[in-house]
Homo-oligomer: A and B are copies of this chain.
C-alpha cells in the first residue's frame, strides 16, 4: 500500500495543526486507497493558546508529538525516526503550529528557522524525487527550505498580499489561488492549496485538500 507521511504540529489551529485540515488530509489519503503515516517532532510547543478565550496560557507547556497523537488516535511516530525510504509522499497540513512549531515563521517571517528534522526529511524527499504537499500556511515553511533555487519554486498560500510578498522575498514564486484549487510545481513535485487561509467553511477546505492529495499521488 502507498504510504503518505503526514507531519503534524500539535492539535488546534492557534498553537498546533489545524484539526479540520489534518483530519481531511487523513480522509483524502484513505479515500485514495493509501495509508497515512502520522509523525511530529518530539519538542515543546512554542506556547499553549486557550482556544475558547484566544489567550496565551502562561506557564503552560505541551509537547508537539504528544498533542499531535490526539489527531492520530495514538498511531504516530517521532519524525526523527522517519526516513524518505519509509514513505511515498509527504504532506504538511496547516494551522499556526506549522509556523510556530515546525518553523518560527509566525514570529520571524522571512528570517525564520525550520526544525532540523523537518528540514532533513524534506531534503530526503526532494533528493528521492518523491512528492510533497503543503496546506494553508505550511507552504511558508516549505518556502524557507526551497528558497533561492533557480528557477524559483512555485507555491501558494491563497491570496493574502503581505504573506505572498514575504514568501517572494524568501526566493520562491507565490501564485494566487482560490480555495478549491491547487498550485503544482512539477519540477519539485510540490502541490499547495490555501484551505483555511481562504475558506469560509469546512466543505471548501475538503475540496481543496482532496484535490491536492490526488494530484500529489499522481506525481509519484
Interface residues of A (CB under 8 A from B): 11-14, 16, 18-20, 23-24, 26-27, 30-31, 50-54, 63, 65-67, 69-74, 76, 201-203, 206
Distance, CA A24 to CA B31, complexed state (A): 14
> Copy number of this protein in the oligomer?
2
Contacts of A73 in B (CB 8 A): 13, 18-20, 51
> What's the least CB distance linking A142 to chain B, in Å?
23
- Nearest residue, chain B, Cβ from A51: B69
Q: Are A11 and B70 in contact (CB under 8 A)?
A: yes
Q: Are B66 and A50 in contact (CB under 8 A)?
A: yes
Contacts of A202 in B (CB 8 A): 23, 26-27, 30
**Contact pick for A74, options B52, B69, B76, CB 8 Å:** B52
Distance, CA A60 to CA B14, complexed state (A): 21
Distance, CA A63 to CA B74, complexed state (A): 21
Distance, CA A72 to CA B51, complexed state (A): 9
**Contact pick for A26, options B20, B27, B66, CB 8 Å:** B20
